[in-house]
Amino acid sequence: MEQPFSSMPDPLRSRELIDLAFRRARKREVKIPRRTPKDLKAKIKEETRITSAGNIVINRLHKVVAETPRISDLHPFYREVADAVVGVDNLRKALARIKRAETIVKRLLKDHLRMVKRAREVHEAARIRKAFYGRLSSVLKKLDKDLALIKEAGAKLRKLPSIDPEGLTVVVAGAPNVGKSCFVKCVSTAKPDIASYPFTTRQVLVGHLDLGGVRVQIIDTPGLLDRPIYKRNRAEQQAIAALRHLAKSVIFMIDPSETSGYTIKEQVNIYRGAVEVLKDIPHLPVLNKVDLASERQIKEVEDELGLRNLPKMVALRCLGVKEVLVEAVKAARRGEG
Ligand SMILES: Nc1nc2c(ncn2[C@@H]2O[C@H](COP(=O)(O)OP(=O)(O)O)[C@@H](O)[C@H]2O)c(=O)[nH]1
Ligand SMILES: [Mg+2]
């Protein structure tokens, strides 16, 4: 499953596009019969340059708009992520201005070609071509902010994980180092895809598996559901909100051994925060690293949560993981019901 931004354009900035257009136009040679009158030769030469520079710009601008996915076609998950990264309003406005610029350049091209045809002498044709170049530069210079925004958005959005938003998705959450990635690797039958969110430098794993004929996607959430929610910036909060469109159930991993570097109390706080954001999405608190945890530590988690007999795993050795996965998928299907 391709994510919608995977072929998002990487546009040239204004200066680069101007240089490219003029360079290509200069190199365009036309064969003109030697005995052609001098003024006609000049006209053909300038006409060729104008057409070439204009069309390069028109084609490039057109591609930028055509290759950026339409916001209204996006699944809410990807729309929210895009909103968190660049702001979909900004994206829409930038695309609208690029489209308008394309129309303007088309008109300028037509007008200046007509003027060249009417030119009476050699210098006039060159002057019209220069005027066209000037107008073209000024249109593009005004567009630089918009091109920069698309470029930046593309760089971030192209790396997003490929997820089928309609599929059955189980999200794995928990503090850093509790064993989330180990768990995803254990339960994936195919090699997990590695991608990134624009909000964290850590890598996201997307695992795939087939559970009794049901295709399940399982995703890691590094940097998202691993700290208290109030410590989040706006983009991160929005990214967490986006997860809600995707997650059919959530496995929340707690490491009672505290070897992850997070105390039981801290982890329970993160868990409570995550539950609050995830609202009605079924969630399943589970214990990992029970090979390193004492009875007392396990009991402490259970007392804090007011729950008994939490599922226990050793994700490092893939012990107890299947049971947890089956529970999470059951909860997800109940929720879909
Ligand atoms: N002893 C033990 N170590 C584990 C277990 N699960 C994960 N680890 C180790 O804990 C560290 C963090 O695991 P990782 O899956 O990267 O955690 P993540 O940050 O939550 O994705 C790694 O060094 C793992 O080898 C477990 O069940 N037992
Ligand atoms: Mg990890």
Average pLDDT over residues 115-137: 95
CA 317 – CA 186 distance, rounded (Å):
8
Amino acid at 184: V
Percent residues over pLDDT 70 in the chain: 99
- Decide the pairing of beta strands 214-220 and 283-287: unpaired
Residue 1 has pLDDT above 70, yes or no: no
Average pLDDT over residues 148-163: 92
Alpha carbon 286 to its chain's center: 30
pLDDT tens-digit map of 30-74: 888 889 998 899 899 999 999 999 999 999 999 999 999 999 999
pLDDT the model gives residue 191: 86
pLDDT the model gives residue 334: 87
CA 196 – CA 205 distance, rounded (Å):
8
Ligand with the closest atom to the CA of 255: 1
CA 44 – CA 37 distance, rounded (Å):
11
Looking from the CA of residue 176, the nearest atom of ligand 1 is 19
With a 6 Å cutoff on the Cβ, whether 288 touches ligand 1 is yes
Predicted TM-score (pTM) of this structure: 0.83
What strands lie across the sheet with 193-196, from one edge to the other?
193-196, 203-211, 214-220, 168-174, 249-254, 283-287
Task: Choose among 169, 178, 163: nearest CA to 285.
Answer: 178
- Measured in Å, residue 181 CA sits from the centre of ligand 2 at 4
With a 6 Å cutoff on the Cβ, whether 289 touches ligand 1 is yes
pLDDT the model gives residue 211: 87
DSSP for 94-107, please give it: HHHHHHHHHHHHHH
- Measured in Å, residue 289 CA sits from the centre of ligand 1 at 7
CA 79 – CA 246 distance, rounded (Å):
12
pLDDT the model gives residue 276: 87
Residue nearest to atom 14 of ligand 1 (CA): 179
Residue nearest to atom 23 of ligand 1 (CA): 177
Residue 264 has pLDDT above 80, yes or no: yes
For the chain, the distance separating the N- and C-terminal CA atoms, rounded to the nearest angstrom, is 24
With a 6 Å cutoff on the Cβ, whether 267 touches ligand 1 is no
Burial (0-12, 13-18, 19+ Cβ within 10 Å), 82: buried
| Residue whose structure tokens are 């019901």 | 337
CA 144 – CA 106 distance, rounded (Å):
18
Average pLDDT over residues 312-327: 97
The first and second tokens of residue 336, run together, are: 């879909």
| Structural domains in the chain plus CATH codes | 14-157 (1.20.120.1190), 168-336 (3.40.50.300)
CA 24 – CA 37 distance, rounded (Å):
25
Task: Choose among 165, 223, 216, 175: nearest CA to 197.
Answer: 223
Task: Choose among 240, 257, 125: nearest CA to 173.
Answer: 240
Average pLDDT over residues 333-337: 79
Residues in the chain: 337
- Measured in Å, residue 178 CA sits from the centre of ligand 1 at 6
For residue 175, CA distances in Å to 30, 249, 285 come to 66, 17, 12
251 φ, ψ (degrees, to nearest 5): -95, 120
Task: Lowest mean pLDDT of 120-134, 165-179, 190-204, 205-219, name the range.
Answer: 190-204
Average pLDDT over residues 162-182: 91
pLDDT tens-digit map of 195-253: 877 777 778 889 999 988 889 999 988 877 777 777 777 777 777 877 888 899 999 99
CA 254 – CA 180 distance, rounded (Å):
10
Average pLDDT, the chain: 92
CA 44 – CA 216 distance, rounded (Å):
63
